[in-house]
Amino acid sequence: MDTLAKLQILSGAARYDASCASSGSKREAPACGTGNTSQSGICHSWSDDGRCISLLKILLSNDCRYDCAYCVNRSSNAVERASFTAREVVDLTLDFYRRNYIEGLFLSSAVMQSPDVTMERMVRVVETLRLEEQFGGYIHLKIIPGCSSELVRKAGLYADRISVNIELPSQDSLRRLAPQKHKDSILEPMALIGREIHSSLVERKADRRAPRFAPAGQSTQMIIGASPETDFQILRLSQGLYKKMNLKRVYYSAYVPVIADNRLPVLAAPPLLREHRLYQADWLLRFYGFSAEEILSDDLPDLDETFDPKTAWALRHPEFFPVDINRADYPTLLRVPGIGVTSAKRIIAARRFSAITPEGMKKIGVVLKRAKYFIASAGRPFEKPDRTPALIRQQLLLGEGDGVAPPRQLLLSGLFA
Amino acid sequence: MGMNRYLYDGSADGLLSAIAWILAEESDPEQVALAARKDTLFEDGLFIGTDATLAESLFSRLRKQLPDVAHTLYFCMLAEKEGIETSLLHYIFLAFTHGDKINDYLTHAAVRDIVSISKKAARELHRMKGLLRFEKLRDGAYLAKMEPDHNIIHPLAYHFRTRLKAQHWFLYDVKRRTAARWSNGTLQFGTIEQFTTPALSDDEKQVQALWQTFFKTIAIPDRKNARLQKSNMPMKYWKYLTEKQGE
Ligand code: SF4
């Protein structure tokens, strides 16, 4: 099979992986080599589904020993199989990078003969890129659950980001749908990576030349809607991963029914709106100072379909509003629906020069469509003060023709304002 | 009291030296207007001659004291936009009064104008860092053609100087006929009067086909979203995109 045919199979198999981030790493170009990374990440193209392409995202192989219920590449499914040689991946990466098609490589793989054999081959690819070819571009490497910790360590030395997929939000579901994967084989490498990242940071403080370990951090991904967990369970899991494992990102991937299996739910369509709401809630965890318990509870275990989680929270907490835009501190401003990180920063910056009026809000580019129900300036709310939450609810709904249409995009960042 | 009007020769140095002169001589620069001389009969205003040393000293003063402002000014100049001189003058005047945080003063019209022009240029630069496409030539060098709205060839070349330092490459701005060349550790800029497309290397079409294949396959078929694609990657850039040839 020639490289083009393999590429077709092995990039097609990687397309559902939501993570395309290439940011968060600052790697200088090697003295006589090719490539560096950019702190803010660069998109090189946008595919026909509108998603950013920044990395050559491929599987090393789709020839899988395992039989996970939700996966096209499961051993019991009849699909065409292919595997790249290490050299093929190295050449593709370099040829694409030199033409500025990509920021780097995102390499994952199905489980070939064994986790160790697979991981060893993947590590060989990045080792060749870094050592032989002096490649300085971005590398994201997936860890194959069950491989040796030695290989995990090696992967972290060469890659900018490494990730272990948590796959499903509970041990039960994992046992049922991915019987060959064990919770421990996922959590152990995660913890190991967390420790290594930490100690590398400590060492590098003492000595700038100490080796970096996955400088862009660790991320993970889980499939949403293939198993019965509630959004509350999922958000608490993410919260734990951010707090205890120090993860950079958790990616959520709406389950796409690719093959029939009686262990799987029958869905009319992938739960895209749910995925979208989870990303919004995740955003609240990471950047807005919310806790999972504020967003959801045992009595309210799933995210609202109609309203984004911040608006839903605001509607449940009328006592918090209106927020005075000339007095409120940054965390308080961030709780206002429609005011995101950028707007909150702009408000705080602009009010150093003069008090902000409703007009002024528009001038500095804050969108008031949603925020106006929740803010006040000089003691006066932007909208009439006698509005009950029920009225605001209605108003918000009327104001948004497309409020309930499921988004047609996998990964939405910067969702607010 | 009417506004005092001044003119300058239309060059970047001319603009900066006129601003420096006005800041030094006028008591209320916010009441002053500045424009490029067009040599029409009815232009009215006092012409300020270009003084490169004055321009240089203003810019280096900004760089030292107000780095964010210098940065904004730099990108603003890349925009090659006409009629922004008065706003720029007021912006720099305000910057010396309020300090480097002036970019936050978005309720002021001049600041808003300048910041938004500069942001647009910076955004296009960032975009081109991703959208530029090199083709390998027969002699092993790489060539990238582009037609950006802003004159960004300098900062773009600096970006690729570190990124693709091991290869020999050219950038060519087709609209402005300017070029950058990186070879053997030196970066040079110049203009090209007569451009002839050089022959491609033998394997170039093969690599392009691989990229085109990847581009097609990586999209999720039932989530086609042409509108989102175009808003992220406007069609004006497609002309030189390898993956968009023949569309
Ligand atoms: S191990 Fe990975 S590739 Fe193999 S069946 Fe499971 S999910 Fe699919």
Are B31 and B79 in the same domain?
A: yes
Are B106 and B70 in the same domain?
A: yes
Q: How far apart are CA B208 and CA B68, in angstroms?
A: 40
Inter-helix orientation angle A149-158/A183-206, to 10°: 50
Are B20 and B39 in the same domain?
A: yes
How is residue A168 annotated by DSSP? S
Are B100 and B26 in the same domain?
A: yes
A34 or B177: which leads in pLDDT: B177
Contact A20, A102 (CB under 8 A): no
Q: Phi-psi region for residue A318, left (φ > 0), alpha (ψ -120 to 50) or beta?
A: alpha
Neighbours of A31 (CB within 10 A): 9
Where do the domains of chain A lie? 3-290, 309-402
| AA identity, residue A344 | A
Q: How far apart are CA A125 and CA A134, in angstroms?
A: 12
Last residue within a domain, chosen from B68, B92, B124: B124
Are B146 and B120 in the same domain?
A: no
Q: What is the pLDDT of residue A390?
A: 67
**Which residue among A63, A64, A108, A180 is best mutated to probe the pocket of ligand 1, counting the most ligand atoms within 8 A of its Cβ?**
A64
User: A411: which 2 tokens?
Assistant: 């990964």
Contact between B217 and A364 using a beta-carbon 8 Å cutoff? no
How is residue A43 annotated by DSSP? -
Q: How far apart are CA A154 and CA B95, in angstroms?
A: 50
User: How does strand A218-224 pair with strand A161-163?
Assistant: parallel
Q: Can you tell me the ipTM of this complex?
A: 0.92
Q: What is the pLDDT of residue A401?
A: 39
Ligand 1 close to Cβ of residue A74 (< 6 A): yes
* Closest of A6, A5, A2 to residue A83, by C-alpha: A6
Q: How far apart are CA B14 and CA B58, in angstroms?
A: 12
SS3 A167: strand
Last residue within a domain, chosen from B124, B149, B181: B124
- Mutant choice from B167, B171, B223 vs A, greatest count of A C-beta within 10 A: B223
Provide the shortest C-alpha distance from residue B201 to chain A (in Å): 13
**What pLDDT, in 10s, does the model give residues B36-94?**
888 766 677 889 999 999 999 999 999 999 999 999 999 999 998 888 999 999 999 99
Residue by residue, pLDDT tens for chain A (417 residues) are 999 999 999 998 887 765 555 565 666 666 667 777 777 689 999 999 888 999 999 999 999 999 998 888 889 989 999 999 999 999 999 999 999 999 999 999 999 999 999 999 999 999 999 999 999 999 999 999 999 999 999 999 999 999 999 889 999 999 999 999 888 999 999 999 999 998 998 999 988 888 889 998 999 999 999 899 999 999 999 999 999 888 999 999 888 777 778 888 888 788 889 999 999 999 999 999 999 999 999 999 999 988 899 999 998 998 898 899 999 999 999 999 989 888 999 899 888 888 888 888 888 888 888 888 888 887 777 776 556 666 667 666 665 433 334 333 333 222 222
- Flag whether the pTM goes above 0.95: no
| AA identity, residue B220 | I
DSSP per-residue string spanning A98-131: HTTS-SEEEEE----S-HHHHHHHHHHHHHIIII
Domain of B175 in residue numbering reads as 132-244
Task: Classify burial at A188, counting beta carbons within 10 Å of its beta carbon; exposed 0-12, middle 13-18, buried 19 or more.
Answer: middle
Q: Which residues of B touch A98 (CB under 8 A)?
A: 134, 136, 142, 164, 167
Residue bearing the CA closest to ligand 1, atom 2: A110
* Close Cβ partners of A243 (under 8 Å, ≥ 6 residues apart): none
Q: Which residues of B touch A26 (CB under 8 A)?
A: none
Inter-helix orientation angle B67-78/B109-131, to 10°: 70
Are B105 and B155 in the same domain?
A: no
Are B139 and B92 in the same domain?
A: no
Share of chain B above pLDDT 70, in %: 98
Ligand 1 close to Cβ of residue A68 (< 6 A): yes
Q: What is the pLDDT of residue B107?
A: 86
Provide the shortest C-alpha distance from residue B45 to chain A (in Å): 32
| AA identity, residue A363 | K
Contact between A50 and B232 using a beta-carbon 8 Å cutoff? yes
Q: What is the pLDDT of residue A117?
A: 96
Q: How far apart are CA A314 and CA A337, in angstroms?
A: 7
| Whether pLDDT at B120 is above 70 | yes
Are B162 and B92 in the same domain?
A: no
Lookup result for tokens 């890129």: A129
Cis peptide before A322 (omega within 30 of 0): yes
Ligand 1 close to Cβ of residue A140 (< 6 A): no
How is residue A46 annotated by DSSP? E
Are B24 and B51 in the same domain?
A: yes
Q: Which residues of B touch A47 (CB under 8 A)?
A: 215, 218-219, 229
SS3 A358: helix
Q: What is the pLDDT of residue A84?
A: 97
- CATH for A3-290 is 3.20.20.70
How far CA A164 is from CA of A37, A226, B161, in Å, comes to 22, 19, 35
Provide the shortest C-alpha distance from residue B7 to chain A (in Å): 30
Contact between B126 and A101 using a beta-carbon 8 Å cutoff? no
**What pLDDT, in 10s, does the model give residues B148-163?**
999 999 999 999 999 9
Q: How far apart are CA A416 and CA A112, in angstroms?
A: 42
Are B98 and B174 in the same domain?
A: no
Are B200 and B235 in the same domain?
A: yes
Task: Kindly report the backbone phi and psi dihedral angles of residue B144, in degrees, each rounded to the nearest multiple of 5, phi listed first.
Answer: -125, 125
SS3 A257: coil
Are B114 and B136 in the same domain?
A: no
Residue in B107, B209, B232 nearest the CB of A350 = B107
End-to-end CA distance of chain A: 48
Ligand 1 close to Cβ of residue A73 (< 6 A): yes
For the residues B174-190, what does the mean pLDDT come to? 93
DSSP per-residue string spanning A293-352: HHH--SSS-S--SSS-HHHHHHHH-GGG-PEETTT--HHHHHTSTT--HHHHHHHHHHTT
Contact A107, A122 (CB under 8 A): yes
User: Helices (DSSP H) in chain B: which residue ranges?
Assistant: 12-25, 52-65, 67-78, 85-98, 109-131, 153-163, 204-218, 226-232
